[in-house]
């Protein structure tokens, strides 16, 4: 996989690759001499790759039209157990939740977004699943889920997870990648054990700098041993009290698309840090350099850039905490309403707390303070509500902006970046009063 997160035949964005440059995609996958050869043939690595991806040999591959994406990719019911999610990509599966379906204080499992990089494991039996902790530890250990439950304190915490690319769809010029709007965020209740307790049991050696996370999901290429993603966090973050090795979600099993039977939950940082189908955590004395840790993946320029400006890879820095943000979950965008409405939603800010949420119904000319709940625990989003009286019939927009414990307020617009990360512009919803 390319570590700079661009689309290649071995990267997640298969559909994007074919849509953006069908000729290049066709050559890369199928080895055709020319794209215009509509009766071209598969050969070599291209045939092997596509056969691995569909899970079987392709006896009639010579007849496949150029640029074809096999129907098997689209026919799989990849959202079983989910409610109302919008599918952005089906290989790998990426799906977001419309904001009005995130109105619950705790996100139901059925409405938790999906962000995958590879193919989830077909066999994920909690009874036989193990987690290995090795690298720079005094006592490398392998734990079953039963071991984790019995040997460490089991805790339940509401923890917010947000994809680093949430809001990418609103960048101009467009940024490549899944075109998330608002719904790649959730705050479920996770049950598991603290990562710091598990690491301490192994004995963290002096000089440890970073964790390295390994999951059981397979690379889209089908190549054995090739990882679709392996990210990590600084050891200081790993040793905070709200980073969990989780084996339950909202009192039940994890959803298969959300990492069953074992995953990390690293609240406040990009969701890519929260490795799913977790099998191994290695401690390293350098910043981890696994897939999607290098190049421009989950990185932003260290300085402001002009929209569309080319940035040297050496000038990108790793994203750590996510920025202050709010989301209006009621009313739904475009909803009809009476003149008196209750505005509801959530706010969060990486490793910080949110101290205020303000709402406006007059395009930002005036603002009123919303009622804001404290987080139920460190790492949870905060719920807000406000009664808004609209003066007459007509079209209105309700805006929300959050301010965090360091005094940082959501902007009306943010600086562009090449990868479309960290979009925390104020959320707006349209309301029509009859």
Tell me the C-alpha distance between 332 and 335, whole Å. Answer: 5
Q: pTM for the full model? A: 0.84
Which token pair is 126? 């909690």
| Confidence (pLDDT) at 249 | 98
- Are the beta carbons of 47 and 28 closer than 8 angstroms? no
Domains (range + CATH), the chain: 14-74 (no CATH), 101-317 (3.90.420.10), 325-433 (2.60.40.650)
338-341: long-range pairs with CB below 8 Å, 24+: 338/433, 339/389, 339/390, 339/391, 339/392, 339/393, 339/433, 340/387, 340/388, 340/389, 340/390, 341/387, 341/388, 341/390, 341/398, 341/431
Residue 201, Cβ density class (10 Å: 0-12 exposed, 13-18 middle, ≥19 buried): middle
Tell me the C-alpha distance between 165 and 197, whole Å. Answer: 30
Q: How many residues does the chain have?
A: 434
- Are the beta carbons of 422 and 319 closer than 8 angstroms? yes
Count CA atoms within 13 Å of residue 351 on its CB side.
12
From the list 266, 231, 421, the residue with the least C-alpha distance to 350 is: 266
* Radius of gyration for the alpha carbons in the chain, expressed in angstroms and rounded: 23
Tell me the C-alpha distance between 63 and 53, whole Å. Answer: 18
What are the φ and ψ backbone dihedral angles of 313, each rounded to 5 degrees? Answer: -55, -30
Tell me the C-alpha distance between 127 and 125, whole Å. Answer: 5
Strand partners, 248: 191
Measured from the Cβ of residue 187, the count of other Cβ atoms closer than 10 Å reads 26
The pLDDT profile of the chain, 434 residues, written as one tens digit per residue, is 334 443 343 434 454 554 455 455 555 544 443 333 333 334 444 566 566 666 677 788 777 665 455 665 544 578 999 999 999 998 899 999 999 999 999 999 999 999 999 999 988 999 999 999 999 999 999 999 999 999 999 999 999 999 999 999 999 999 999 999 999 999 999 999 999 999 999 999 999 999 999 999 999 998 999 999 999 999 999 999 999 999 999 999 999 999 999 999 999 999 999 999 999 999 999 999 999 999 999 999 999 999 999 999 999 999 999 999 999 999 999 999 999 999 999 999 999 999 999 999 999 999 999 999 999 999 999 999 999 999 999 999 999 999 999 999 999 999 999 999 999 999 999 999 99
Could you tell me the CA-to-CA distances from 168 to 35, 176, 229, 412, 424 in Å, in that order? 31, 8, 20, 15, 10
């Amino acid at each position: 996989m390319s570590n700079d997160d661009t689309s290649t035949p071995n990267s997640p964005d298969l559909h994007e690759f074919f849509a953006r440059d069908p000729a290049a995609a066709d050559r890369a996958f199928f080895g055709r001499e020319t794209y215009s050869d509509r009766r071209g043939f598969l050969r070599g690595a291209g045939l092997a790759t596509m056969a691995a991806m569909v899970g079987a040999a392709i006896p009639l591959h010579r007849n496949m039209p150029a640029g074809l994406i096999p129907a098997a990719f689209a026919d799989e019911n990849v959202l079983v157990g989910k409610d109302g999610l919008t599918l952005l990509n089906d290989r790998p599966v990426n799906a977001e939740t419309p904001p009005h379906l995130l109105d619950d204080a705790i996100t139901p499992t059925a409405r938790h977004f999906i962000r995958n990089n590879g193919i989830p494991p077909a066999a994920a039996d909690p009874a036989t699943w193990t987690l290995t902790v090795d690298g720079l530890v005094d006592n490398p250990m392998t734990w079953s889920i039963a071991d984790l439950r019995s040997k460490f304190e089991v805790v339940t915490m509401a923890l917010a997870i947000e994809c680093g690319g949430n809001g990418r769809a609103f960048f101009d010029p467009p940024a490549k990648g899944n075109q998330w709007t608002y719904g790649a965020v959730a705050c479920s209740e996770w049950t598991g054990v603290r990562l710091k307790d598990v690491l301490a049991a192994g004995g963290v050696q002096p000089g440890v700098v970073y964790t390295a996370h390994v999951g059981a999901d397979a690379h889209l290429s089908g190549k054995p041993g090739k990882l679709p993603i392996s990210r990590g966090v600084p050891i200081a973050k790993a040793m905070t009290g709200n980073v969990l090795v989780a084996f339950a979600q909202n009192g039940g099993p994890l959803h298969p698309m959300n990492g069953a039977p074992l995953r990390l939950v690293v609240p406040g940082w990009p969701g890519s840090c929260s490795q799913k189908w977790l099998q191994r955590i290695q401690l390293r004395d350098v910043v981890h350099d696994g897939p999607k840790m290098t190049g421009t993946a989950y990185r932003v320029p260290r300085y402001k850039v002009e929209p569309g400006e080319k940035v040297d890879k050496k000038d990108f820095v790793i994203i750590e905490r996510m920025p202050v943000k709010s989301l209006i979950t009621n009313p739904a965008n475009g909803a009809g309403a009476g003149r008196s409405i209750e505005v509801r939603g959530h706010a969060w800010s990486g490793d910080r707390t949110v101290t205020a949420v303000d709402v406006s119904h007059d395009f930002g000319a005036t603002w009123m303070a919303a009622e804001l709940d404290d987080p139920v625990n460190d790492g949870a989003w905060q719920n807000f509500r406000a009664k808004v009286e609209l003066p007459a019939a007509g079209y209105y927009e309700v805006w929300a902006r959050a301010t965090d414990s360091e005094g940082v307020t959501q902007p009306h617009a943010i600086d562009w970046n090449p990868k479309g990360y960290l979009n925390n512009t104020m959320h707006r919803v349209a309301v029509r009063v009859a």
